[in-house]
A and B are shown apart, each in its own frame.
Chain A
Amino acid sequence: MSLLKLSGLTKFFGGLQAVSELSFEVQAGEILGLIGPNGAGKTTAFNLIAGFISPSAGEILFNGENIGGMKAYAVTRKGIARTFQIVKPFKKLSVLENVTLAAFLRFPARREAEAAAGRILEKMGLGSKLPALAVDLTLSEQKRLEIARALATDPKLLLLDEPMGGLNPTEIDQASKLVRDICRGGVTIIWVEHVLKAIMNVSDRVVVINYGKKIAEGTPEQVVKKPEVIAAYLGTKKR
């Protein structure tokens, strides 16, 4: 059984069909890249899986259970964590407090929650920033804080929404390594990204969507050769 299975997932915003009959599966332990041009419905798909909006139709099966329409906090408790495309740290709290709040979900006692948060932050390379206020971090650090906070809820599935947007090439290489490390640690990852080089290097499989529909699926090498994908990204040749 796959860890996550979307079947016929559909979302209307008024007359606009933002996600349309989207179906794909994610196996435990893999990194799945979700790509597509701007406005293709990637973030909407994330919001549907994470429970921030409820589907108009279709199913989201997580470990065989339909979680479509569940509230976001309930989805997180089931074991799906997410990051936001535009980072949303608890700005006026410290780095350690940001992650401790998330760790409370699995460790109700403050001391244990803080210890768990400290371990995760160390792994994310933020070990020296524990007392700093989240608002004072650089963008790259805030992106890692966002991932650390998601990891502190001890997820089985992690949804990363453009973790590399706005990073420089060096930071992108570091972030790529980090994503692979997280996956090796036993967390399955779905990853939305515009930095194609990174996603092609890191992902096991890629799903391409456009206008809310899946137009291609396969290994990175297979997907980039498909004419539909090239058309979606570069446009079609005029006759």
Chain B
Amino acid sequence: MRKILPAALILLLLAAPWIIAKPFLVHLMIMVLLWTVLGASWNLLGGFTGQVSFGHATFLGAGAYTMMILYLKLGLDPWYGIVIGGLVAALIALPIGYLCFRLRGPYFALSTLAVAEIIRLIALNWESLTAGPVGLLITTLPRVTFWGKAINWESKTPFFYLAVIIALAALLATAVISRSRLGAYLLAVREDIDSAEAIGINTVQVRVAALSLSAFFAGLAGGFYALYLRYIDPDAVFSIALSVEMVFIAVVGGLTTVAGPLIGAVFLVTLGETFREHFLVGHLIFYGFFMMLAIRYMPEGIWGKVRLWIKKPATLGNSS
């Protein structure tokens, strides 16, 4: 059962663009997968280590700009650009981590907010690199053949499969980490930093590792996001609203679980995109509303609650 269910879901996912041919629905699934990655990214840090970041858009933006700049200025294929974007985000996370993790609790959360704003302002003003508020635009994508056929960039299908790959990678990484010694150490940090130090865990290093891994996936998502939209500007990829949406998805889905971000994304993105049709930014009102409901009635999140019904809570090496 534990192996068949994910496999069936993956097969269903791969066949989805043919089953559901409507472009809006394929777009919806792409957004769900994108937010699954971002939720999983936030979960790696916020869920496993309990360190609340309000600045994760920093890493999304870093990935997006890396991919865009490499493609537009150096002509590097977006595939490589997305991966390098993830690596750049992971690298940027190192100094941020070593600085901000000197602080604890709310002070850490505030420092991530401050760093995100600083980086947004840098992106806004470093016009020679980022074109500032004008933003960067991809007019043509390179001709890529896959099994002898040229990929049709006007269709949403290739983006869908790319999103599937990145989302599966993020969920798989979460599963692997949650079973590893590092994953156990992350939980120790979440439970009590002093006790973690007392049993020989270098908690700064462990938290920086979690932040960097988390940033890698946010960076991948950012590179993909830029390729999919073909246009970015600092407010579109470095905004606080994006950082906050990541928190919503991870928390509503279920912290410290593997599937939580996927469930959270399915739930919130579907609702959000549906309401966006009618109310513009109104989707954030619904996000906030469901966040409140989740905090009040199921602080362990939707998937966390379901897990409580069917088996024991997520602990070391047991967090599907």
Do these two chains really belong together in a complex? yes
Measuring CB to CB, which residues of chain A are less than 8 angstroms from any residue of chain B? 50, 52, 71-74, 76-77, 81-82, 84, 88-94, 97, 100-102, 104-105, 108, 110, 149-150, 152-153
Determine which of B184, B203, B315, B317 lies in contact with A104 in the assembled complex, contact meaning CB atoms within 8 Å. B184
* B6 contacts partner chain A, Cβ-Cβ < 8 Å: no
Q: Is the CB of A84 within 8 A of B181?
A: no
Chain B 277-320 near chain A by CB (<8 Å), digits 1 or 0: 00000000000000000000000000000000000010111000
Question: What are 15 inter-chain pairs, A to B, with CB distance below 8 A?
Answer: A52-B194, A72-B194, A73-B200, A73-B201, A89-B192, A90-B192, A91-B192, A92-B313, A93-B187, A93-B188, A101-B316, A102-B199, A104-B181, A149-B199, A150-B199
| Distance of A88 Cα from B203 Cα, bound (Å) | 16
CB-based contact B187/A153 at 8 Å: no
Contact A102–B181 (Cβ < 8 Å): no
Report A22 CB to chain B, min CB distance, Å.
21
Q: How far apart sit A72 and B195, CA to CA, in the bound complex (Å)?
A: 10
A110-B199 in contact (CB<8A): no
Q: How many residues of B contact A (CB 8 A)?
A: 21
* A76, B198: Cβ atoms closer than 8 Å: yes
Q: Once the chains bind, are A94 and B203 in contact (CB under 8 Å)?
A: no
List the B residue with the shortest CB-CB distance to A91.
B191
Q: List the B side residues contacting A50 at CB < 8 Å.
A: 198
Is A71 within 8 A of B195, CB to CB? Answer: no
Tell me if B274 is interfacial: C-beta within 8 Å of chain A. Answer: no
A47 to B112, CA, bound (A): 29
Query: Given A73-B202, A76-B200, A93-B316, does the pair A104, B185 have CB atoms closer than 8 Å?
Result: yes
Q: Among the listed A52, A101, A152, which residue makes an inter-chain contact with B197, where contact means beta carbons less than 8 Å apart?
A: A52
Within 8 A of A (CB), among B197-242: 197-203
Report how far A82 CA is from B195 CA in the complex, Å: 9
B319 to chain A, nearest CB (A): 12
Measured CA separation A70–B34 after assembly (Å): 43
A152 lies within 8 A of B199 (CB): yes
Q: A92-B313, A101-B187, A150-B199 are in contact. List 18 more A-B contacts (CB 8 A).
A: A71-B202, A72-B194, A73-B197, A73-B202, A74-B202, A76-B200, A77-B200, A81-B199, A88-B192, A88-B194, A89-B195, A90-B191, A92-B191, A93-B188, A93-B316, A100-B316, A101-B201, A102-B200
Chain B neighbourhood of A100, CB < 8 A: 184, 316
Q: A101 contacts B202, CB within 8 Å?
A: no
* A90-B187, A101-B185 known; A110-B317 Cβ under 8 A: yes
Q: Which residue on B lies nearest to A135, using beta carbons?
A: B191
Q: Are A81 and B198 in contact (CB under 8 A)?
A: yes
On whether A76 and B195 interact (CB within 8 A), knowing A104-B181, A110-B181, the answer reads: no
Cα A150 to Cα B192 in complex, Å, equals 14
Name the residue on B nearest A94 (C-beta).
B315
> CA of A90 to CA of B196 in the docked complex: distance in angstroms?
9
Q: Which of B187, B192, B200, B313 contacts A105 (CB 8 A)?
A: B200
Q: How far is the CA of A149 from the CA of B198 in the complex (A)?
A: 9
- With A93-B316, A100-B184, A101-B185 already in contact, the answer to whether A82 and B198 are too (CB < 8 A) is yes
5 tightest A-B CB contacts, nearest first = A90-B191, A76-B200, A102-B199, A72-B197, A105-B200
Give complex CA distance A89, B202 in Å. Answer: 18
Complex alpha-carbon distance, A72 and B199, angstroms: 9
Residues of A within 8 A of B194 (CB): 52, 72, 84, 88
> How far, in Å, is B257 (CB) from chain A's closest CB?
14
Known A93-B315, A97-B316, A100-B184; judge A76-B191 contact (CB<8 A).
no
CB contact between A153 and one of B184, B200, B316 (< 8 Å): that residue: B200
With A71-B202, A93-B315, A97-B316 known to touch, is A84 a contact of B191 (CB < 8 Å)?
no
Chain B, residue nearest A107 (CB): B181
Task: Tell me which of A71, A73, A84, A91 has the highest count of chain B C-beta atoms within 10 A of its own C-beta.
Answer: A73
- Residues in chain B near residue A153, CB distance under 8 A: 199-200
What are the interface flags for B174-193 relative to A under an 8 Å C-beta threshold, 1 for contact and 0 otherwise?
Answer: 00000001001101100110
Collect the chain A residues with CB atoms within 8 Å of residue B315's CB: 92-94, 97
Residues of A close to B195: CB separation below 8 A: 84, 88-90, 149
Residues in A with CB closer than 8 Å to B184 are: 97, 100-101, 104
* Bound Cα distance from A68 to B316, whole angstroms: 34
CB distance from A89 to the nearest CB of B (A): 7
**Min C-beta distance of B203 to chain A, whole Å:** 7
User: Using Cβ atoms and an 8 Å threshold, which residues of chain B touch A110?
Assistant: 181, 317
How far, in angstroms, from A88 to B195 measured CA to CA in the complex? 6
CB distance from A185 to the nearest CB of B (A): 19
Contacts of B181 in A (CB 8 A): 104, 108, 110
Distance from B303 Cβ to chain A, minimum over Cβ atoms (Å): 17
